[in-house]
Structure 1
Amino acid sequence: MLQQYQHILVPVDGSEEAELAFKKAIAVAQRNGSETELRLLHVVDTRAFQNISSFDTSMVEQVTETAKKTLDKYVDDAKAQGLTNVSYTIEYGAPKTIIAHDVPKEMNADLIMIGATGLNAVERLLIGSITEYVTRTAVCDVLVVRTDLENHYVKSSKSRRNK
């Protein structure tokens, strides 16, 4: 029996890894039928703004506008490939818990497709990997995407810089 996923969540942050997850999520949604929901999620990590002394809402608004433009493009791309049930959500707060728990529970997600971390070993040790946290604690299945649509490993430009 094949697993049929009906509610797929794809966290996107502008990284190459997230782009790969998005592309593969479209393919999975296409295979699982026209009723499959594909929800894109961008989390604005508000903790990043806490240490800025001149913090004002215009910074958050600017980040949100940039995210909206990117997510609108993703939705258009998915619809151009035949998906009809595509939407996005922008949330504010701690990405780990929002991606692993809050949004999956709210949308009744049965699959999270997330890009492999772009962090190097030191960054993972100091700040932790969102992907690692999601795979450990999510309330549904998690697929970590490391390859392109032809299943070729794509080394990100970030990981090339860290070598």
Structure 2
Amino acid sequence: MEKKYTRILVGMDGSAESLKAFDEALRIAKRNDAALILANVIEQRSFLAVNTYDTIAEERHEAGTKILLEQFAQEATDAGVSKVETVLQYGSPKVLMSTKIPKEENVDLIVVGATGISYIERVVVGSVASYIVNHAPCNTLIVRK
């Protein structure tokens, strides 16, 4: 018997991997009549050098991310998921997606896409998906290409 999930968190960053994760999370949410929480965490460190001179880049990125989340929320609703929420936070994607957001949102499944980074990159910088698997307080599903 398959586990019944009630609140599913999916990491959405617009990458091909996150689109596959969304499709899988959508399928699971429909099967379980579960709430689907679409989340994006903006890594502020990527804007540090730019922000010294111009905050427009960060504002545009946030606006684009909100649009992305809203579009996928609408797609989920159109596909028959009755409970869809979006979350946009600033900070470390690894930490927020693995611990803070799942606890705040009472999540029982996290679905993320596997990154296309190489072994060396994983060793040096680590993979968000790997970190989530090792630190999340609930089940995690990594969707591969």
Match of 1:106 among 104, 107, 113: 104
Q: CA shift at 1:59, angstroms?
A: 2.0
Does the alignment pair 1:37 with 2:35? Answer: yes
SS of residue in 1 equivalent to 2:142: strand
Q: In structure 2, what is the equivalent of residue 149 of structure 1?
A: none
What amino acid maps onto 1:95 in structure 2? P
Following the alignment from structure 2 to structure 1, what is the Cα–Cα distance between the partners of residues 59 and 49? 17
TM-score by length of 1: 0.84
Following the alignment from structure 1 to structure 2, what is the Cα–Cα distance between the partners of residues 145 and 38? 16
Contact 2:9 2:107 in 1 (8 A): yes
Contact 1:49 1:55 in 2 (8 A): no
What amino acid maps onto 1:88 in structure 2? T
Contact 2:6 2:108 in 1 (8 A): yes
Greater fraction helix: 2
Q: How many residues align?
A: 145
Instruction: State, as a whole percentage, how many aligned pairs show the same letter.
Output: 37
Specify whether residues 53 and 24 from structure 1 end up closer, same or farther in structure 2 by C-alpha distance, changes over 3 A only: closer
Larger Rg: 1
- Structure 1 spans left out of the alignment, 5+ residues: 147-153, 155-163
Let me know the Cα RMSD of the aligned residues.
1.3
- Structure 2 spans left out of the alignment, 5+ residues: none
